[in-house]
Structure 1
Amino acid sequence: MQLLWLRTDLRLHDNTALAAAAGQGPTVAVYLVTPGQWQLHDDAPCKVDFWLRNLRELGKVLAVLNIPLLIRHAQTWDQVPEVLRTLCQSLKVDAVHVNEEYGVNESRRDQAVAHTLEADGIRFHCHLDQLFFKPGSVLTRTGTYFQVFSQFRKVCYSRLRSALPRQVSVPKAQSTLPVEADPVPEAVEGFARPSQALRDLWPAGEDEAQRRLTRFAEQQIDNYQSERDFPAKSATSQLSAYLAAGVISPRQCLHAALQGNRGEFESGHAGAVTWINELLWREFYKHILVGYPRVSKRRAFRPETEALAWRQAPEELAAWQEARTGLPIVDAAMRQLLETGWMHNRLRMVVAMFLTKNLLIDWREGERFFMRHLIDGDLAANNGGWQWSASSGTDAAPYFRIFNPLSQSEKFDREGLFIKRWLPELAGLPPKAVHNPSALGDLFGVESYPQPMVDLGRSRERALAAFRNLGITADT
């Protein structure tokens, strides 16, 4: 008997561990509900709900293949080795198959499970699935992990040209097993069910993920490079939640992009090239997790920035979290996050720089808040993005490059359509005024919207001084 342990790989198609397990013999699948661990990892209630909904859809298609889906419970990952050992003994399992996950806690968990099972003669097989390349296989000439994305990408391009990762076939139906599938829980204690409006934005299942990928590849990808930074436009793939939960694979995404771009990575449609680069950014940050494990431990990638004099300003942090900053583009982005579980990527950078530079509040506060609300929350991508914005990470923005929320708003939401969508109290303002209502005084009577909580010029100088005090120069 083979046991497939499902984690962030909730799909039937192009699932490496599923194909490997089924290829070895009769297979049973299991998913572990670990609410205590999810809370420790700041997993958002909407993300947990998304997992359960996708797991329910996966259980249906696995049943067609006669693969029962079992549900087991463990409060934290410390209990997982014994839970799986007990299950393997009851089913007389010969081998357990998993798709690799990354991060310090994930690695420790899998090592503990492997040690426990192998002591009982049960093999533990890890398969490369989330990534195109195994961490440790894309290195600099000196044998270290890359710290600069453009250099990492260059090597990836070379490898992809010579050996494009293949998609894995769906296994054939197996004979019926004398094992009853378990019902997937509707909810998990400690994680409130999100609004139906939010759930409706993110339908579960591979069919929905494939529909989004097909629509994007056929209708939108050509304009991705030129329109992706405009939050009022539907110009992105809206696949991040499905990638984070493993409802679709990066290989499927890559093949779809290449199919419409004559197999080219660096030429052809600029939109396809740009989107492939985004897939490689995702890859890059996961390699960073493995090569530099301190980033999994809430540590800055650049150690010299650990001494930065972050401000303790709980009231300002709360205003940022609650969309009360008085900067419309920031507040509109935060409302989008709170109501949908997602935020446009350009705005993730804008709000992150506002928190870490203009408010000089520790990036870890923002990273945690995002994880607690994002339906696509992913440790590697979220940490990488926050440290990039805070100038503490790998390949980070230079500390003196600080997005101005007003100019970003005027450039990427010129007519104020995005702002007015999420801040209806500003809907009556003319386009030029919506970016900075405080400049109008009482002209349009927007009493319900707060004044800016900080002077952008003075707060920028405060941030620059804090970085200079670390001895970091403009050309560092």
Structure 2
Amino acid sequence: MHLIWLRSDLRLHDNTALSAAAARGPTVAVYLLSPAQWLEHDDAPCKVDFWLRNLGELSDALGELNIPLLIRHAPRWDEAPQVLLKLCQQLNAEAVHVNEEYGVHESRRDTAVAETLKAHGIDFFSYLDQLLFKPGTVLTKTGTYFQVFSQFRKVCYERLHRSLPGRVAKPAVQDPLPISSDDIPSSVEGFETPSDSLRQLWPAGEAEAQRRLDTFADAQIDYYKSERDFPAKPGTSQLSAYLAAGVISPRQCLHAALHSNQGEFESGKVGAVTWINELLWREFYKHILVGYPRVSRHRAFRPETEALAWRDAPEELLAWQQARTGLPIIDAAMRQLLETGWMHNRLRMVVAMFLTKNLLIDWREGERFFMRHLIDGDLAANNGGWQWSSSTGTDSAPYFRIFNPLSQSEKFDAEGVFIKHWLPELAGLNKKDVHNPANVSGLFGVADYPSPIVNLSTSRQRALAAFKNLPSRHDAGGAHE
């Protein structure tokens, strides 16, 4: 008997560990519910709900292959070794198969499980699955992890030219086992069920993920480069939640993009090339997580930025969190996050720079708040994005690059369509005033919209001064090899 321990790989197709287990003999699947650990990791209620809904779909799909899906409780990951050992002994399982996960806690958990099982004569096999390249195989000439994306991408391109990561076949139907699947809980204590409207935006299951990928690759990818920065347009793939939960694989995404671009990833359609680059950014941040574990521990990638004089401004932080900053593009973006569990990528950068530069509030506050609300919350990508925006990270925006929310708003939501959708109280303003209602004076002022909580110009100067005062601004650890 073989056991596939499912984690962030909730799919039947192109699932490396699942196919490997099934190829070796009768297979049973297990998923561990770990609510205390999820709370500690700031996983969003909408994300936990999304996992459970996808588990329900996956259970049905596995059932058609006669693979039972069992649910076990390991509230914290340090309980996983004993829970899995007990299950293996009950099933008389000879091996556990997993797809690799990355991050300090994930690695520790898997090492502990492997050691416990091996001490009892049970094999533990782990496979590369959620990345195109195994961390530690894309390195600089001096054998270190890349800190600059463009150099990392170049080596990835060279590797892709030599061989494309192949997809694996889904398992065959196996003979029925005398084991029935467990019911998938509809909720987990500590995580409230999100609204129906949010859930309807993110239908569960591989069929939906594949439909989104096909639609994007067939109809939208050509326009991706030109439209992805406009939040009112459907310019992005809307696949991030499915990738984060492993309902679709990066290999499936890469092959779909290549298919739409005659097999090219460096030339041909600029939309496809740009989207493949986004897959490689996802890859880059996961490699950073492994190569520089400090970022898993709430530490800045650039150690010298730990000395930044962040402000303690709880009222301003709350205004940002509650979409009451008085800057429409910021507030509209935050409402989108609160109501849908997702935020447009351009706006993630805009609101992150506003928090860390204009308000000079520690990026960790923003990182945590995002994780607690994002349906696509992913440690590597979220941390990477926040540290990029706050100029504390690898290959990040230079500290003097500070997005102006007003000019970003005018450039990427020129007609105010996105703002008016999320801030209906501003629907009566013309397309010039909607970006900055504070300019509307007298009788026509917007009564139920707050004044800006900060002056963009003076707050920019304050941020520049704070960064200039750091002891040393040269790159940490030789970022330019």
Pairwise TM-score range, normalised by the shorter structure: over 0.9
Secondary structure at 2:330's aligned position in 1? helix
Aligned length: 476
- Partner in structure 2 of residue 329 of structure 1: 329
- What's the CA shift for 1:474? 9.4
Where does 1:312-323 land on structure 2 (aligned, <5 Å)? 312-323=312-323
- Partner in structure 1 of residue 479 of structure 2: none
- Partner in structure 2 of residue 253 of structure 1: 253
User: What does the per-residue CA deviation read over 1:96-122, in whole Å, with 9 as the maximum and x for residues that have no partner?
Assistant: 000000000000000000000000000
- What's the CA shift for 1:364? 0.1
Q: 2:440–2:446: 8 Å Cα contact kept in structure 1?
A: no
User: What does the per-residue CA deviation read over 1:101-155, in whole Å, with 9 as the maximum and x for residues that have no partner?
Assistant: 0000000000000000000000000000000110000000000000000000000
Distance between the aligned counterparts of 2:2 and 2:207, measured in 1? 27
Secondary structure at 1:216's aligned position in 2? helix
- What's the CA shift for 1:445? 3.1
1:425 counterpart letter in structure 2: E
- Partner in structure 2 of residue 377 of structure 1: 377
Secondary structure at 2:87's aligned position in 1? helix
- Partner in structure 1 of residue 218 of structure 2: 218
Q: 1:400–1:474: 8 Å Cα contact kept in structure 2?
A: no
Q: 2:230–2:412: 8 Å Cα contact kept in structure 1?
A: yes
Structure 1 residue runs of 4 or more that deviate by more than 3 Å after TM superposition: 471-476
Secondary structure at 1:258's aligned position in 2? helix
2:183 counterpart letter in structure 1: P
**1:414 and 2:427 aligned:** no
Distance between the aligned counterparts of 2:220 and 2:336, measured in 1? 22
- Partner in structure 1 of residue 131 of structure 2: 131
1:51 counterpart letter in structure 2: W
Alpha-carbon spacing, 1:96–1:423, altered in 2? closer, same or farther (3 Å): same
Distance between the aligned counterparts of 1:73 and 1:475, measured in 2? 44
Give 5+ residue unaligned stretches, structure 2.
477-481
Q: 2:304–2:473: 8 Å Cα contact kept in structure 1?
A: no
- What's the CA shift for 1:472? 4.7
Alpha-carbon spacing, 1:247–1:475, altered in 2? closer, same or farther (3 Å): closer
- Partner in structure 1 of residue 238 of structure 2: 238
Q: 1:398–1:474: 8 Å Cα contact kept in structure 2?
A: no
Q: 1:5–1:97: 8 Å Cα contact kept in structure 2?
A: yes
- Partner in structure 2 of residue 470 of structure 1: 470
User: What does the per-residue CA deviation read over 1:356-395, in whole Å, with 9 as the maximum and x for residues that have no partner?
Assistant: 0000000000000000000000000000000000000000
Where does 1:207-356 land on structure 2 (aligned, <5 Å)? 207-356=207-356
1:270 counterpart letter in structure 2: V
- Partner in structure 1 of residue 28 of structure 2: 28
2:348 counterpart letter in structure 1: R
Where does 1:146-165 land on structure 2 (aligned, <5 Å)? 146-165=146-165
Distance between the aligned counterparts of 2:386 and 2:365, measured in 1? 10
1:207 counterpart letter in structure 2: A
Distance between the aligned counterparts of 1:214 and 1:8, measured in 2? 22
Alpha-carbon spacing, 1:276–1:199, altered in 2? closer, same or farther (3 Å): same
User: What does the per-residue CA deviation read over 1:325-364, in whole Å, with 9 as the maximum and x for residues that have no partner?
Assistant: 0000000000000000000000000000000000000000
Q: 1:429–1:444: 8 Å Cα contact kept in structure 2?
A: no
Distance between the aligned counterparts of 1:404 and 1:71, measured in 2? 48
1:391 counterpart letter in structure 2: S
User: What does the per-residue CA deviation read over 1:228-280, in whole Å, with 9 as the maximum and x for residues that have no partner?
Assistant: 00000001000000000000000000000000101111111100000000000
Q: 2:94–2:122: 8 Å Cα contact kept in structure 1?
A: yes
1:9 counterpart letter in structure 2: D
Distance between the aligned counterparts of 2:473 and 2:157, measured in 1? 33
Q: 1:71–1:182: 8 Å Cα contact kept in structure 2?
A: yes
- Partner in structure 1 of residue 59 of structure 2: 59
**1:446 and 2:449 aligned:** no
Distance between the aligned counterparts of 1:91 and 1:324, measured in 2? 55
User: What does the per-residue CA deviation read over 1:155-177, in whole Å, with 9 as the maximum and x for residues that have no partner?
Assistant: 00000111100000011100000
1:428 counterpart letter in structure 2: G
- What's the CA shift for 1:464? 0.3
- Partner in structure 2 of residue 174 of structure 1: 174
Distance between the aligned counterparts of 2:299 and 2:102, measured in 1? 16
- What's the CA shift for 1:75? 1.0
Secondary structure at 2:346's aligned position in 1? helix
Q: 2:302–2:475: 8 Å Cα contact kept in structure 1?
A: no
- Partner in structure 1 of residue 89 of structure 2: 89
Distance between the aligned counterparts of 1:260 and 1:437, measured in 2? 43
Q: TM-score, normalised by structure 1?
A: 0.99
Where does 1:70-149 land on structure 2 (aligned, <5 Å)? 70-149=70-149
Distance between the aligned counterparts of 1:237 and 1:39, measured in 2? 28
- Partner in structure 2 of residue 436 of structure 1: 436
Distance between the aligned counterparts of 2:467 and 2:287, measured in 1? 27
Distance between the aligned counterparts of 2:7 and 2:173, measured in 1? 22
Give the CA RMSD over aligned residues: 1.0
Q: TM-score, normalised by structure 2?
A: 0.98
User: What does the per-residue CA deviation read over 1:80-105, in whole Å, with 9 as the maximum and x for residues that have no partner?
Assistant: 10000000000000000000000000
Distance between the aligned counterparts of 1:158 and 1:300, measured in 2? 30
1:336 counterpart letter in structure 2: Q
Secondary structure at 1:192's aligned position in 2? coil
User: What does the per-residue CA deviation read over 1:424-448, in whole Å, with 9 as the maximum and x for residues that have no partner?
Assistant: 0000000011000001123523110
Distance between the aligned counterparts of 2:165 and 2:442, measured in 1? 60
Distance between the aligned counterparts of 1:305 and 1:474, measured in 2? 11
Distance between the aligned counterparts of 1:339 and 1:448, measured in 2? 20
Give 5+ residue unaligned stretches, structure 1.
none
Distance between the aligned counterparts of 1:168 and 1:330, measured in 2? 43
Distance between the aligned counterparts of 2:176 and 2:442, measured in 1? 73
Distance between the aligned counterparts of 1:383 and 1:108, measured in 2? 20
